[in-house]
Structure 1
């Protein structure tokens, strides 16, 4: 519990609901889990905001604007502390792969053997890990964070990619 008092963490995160056009119950469940896990345990330090004297814990708002992820950061006092922009084109392929393997995995849950489900789950986690490393590279020089936090952020990026 003491870790939750640390200033270099995300206290609150929200997604731009206007960006998200449609979500299945499975995706909604993934979104809720990622948000819950992020808010309970994470490490996040936006470098430019910290250099400009802002202190966390941080509140984030994630949106997709003109094909870019916009992470609007507010400091512990509720003041806007800047926006971190990431081009999403670099994530298109891995997001597509992740959606495809997740689709196969969720279909397999209904009819496949335990071994097939385990194989698909391992593939799903492997793609998620690769995407997380890619996200960590994209955040380098902008945000100090850990693997688990970046992994959950990638899940939220996926949610923002869903189109009707």
Structure 2
């Protein structure tokens, strides 16, 4: 089942023109997660650097899915020609995903209370986690695909959303299972 598929017209080759999240996703998705997903995909497609190693013929479509505690990335051209697939262990980013989930929960709680100072402090922490995760993701992907920092940040957000939507992984990432 596809949770989200978004496409835009691409005029340059070394970038994403479509992103989809696949897997066994909860149908009762959290509205904040849906919003994060929509914003991340919009921003990602608006501006990204995405260059599969050894391939220069994009633009590219990216499908993210979960399987056996791994993130599966399938990359095709905009004409649906297979470019590469990559399985990425989530173990190295598990702490960052857990921290990010906790910070997001705190952020949503603070929004309900309309405390601007607390929102700003929490958002600073969230950006720091995002930056650390983006650097880690860039290092983990470098042998398969080159991405810039902003692209890596948005991919991390989508990984977070995918995991939180997932019945099997969401609770484990947040430490509830």
Using structure 2 for the length normalisation, give the TM-score: 0.83
Give the structure with the larger helix fraction.
1
Equivalent residue for 2:33, pick from 27, 32, 39: 27
Name the CA distance, whole Å, in 2 between partners of 1:31 and 1:113.
Answer: 24
SS of alignment partner, residue 23 of structure 1: coil
Q: Who is 2:4 aligned against?
A: none
Aligned counterpart in structure 1 of residue 130 of structure 2, from 104, 128, 131: 128
* C-alpha RMSD of matched pairs (Å): 1.4
1:111-150 correspondence to structure 2 within 5 Å:
111-150=113-152
Tell me, in whole angstroms, the C-alpha distance in 2 between the residues paired with 1:35 and 1:102.
18
Q: Structure 1: 5+ residue runs without aligned partners?
A: none
Of 145-154 and 107-116, deviating more is: 107-116
SS state at 2:61 partner: strand
Write the distance in 1 (CA, Å) between the matches of 2:60 and 2:32: 28
Matched ranges for 1:45-60 at <5 A: 45-48=51-54, 50=55, 55-60=57-62
1:78 offset after TM fit, Å? 1.6
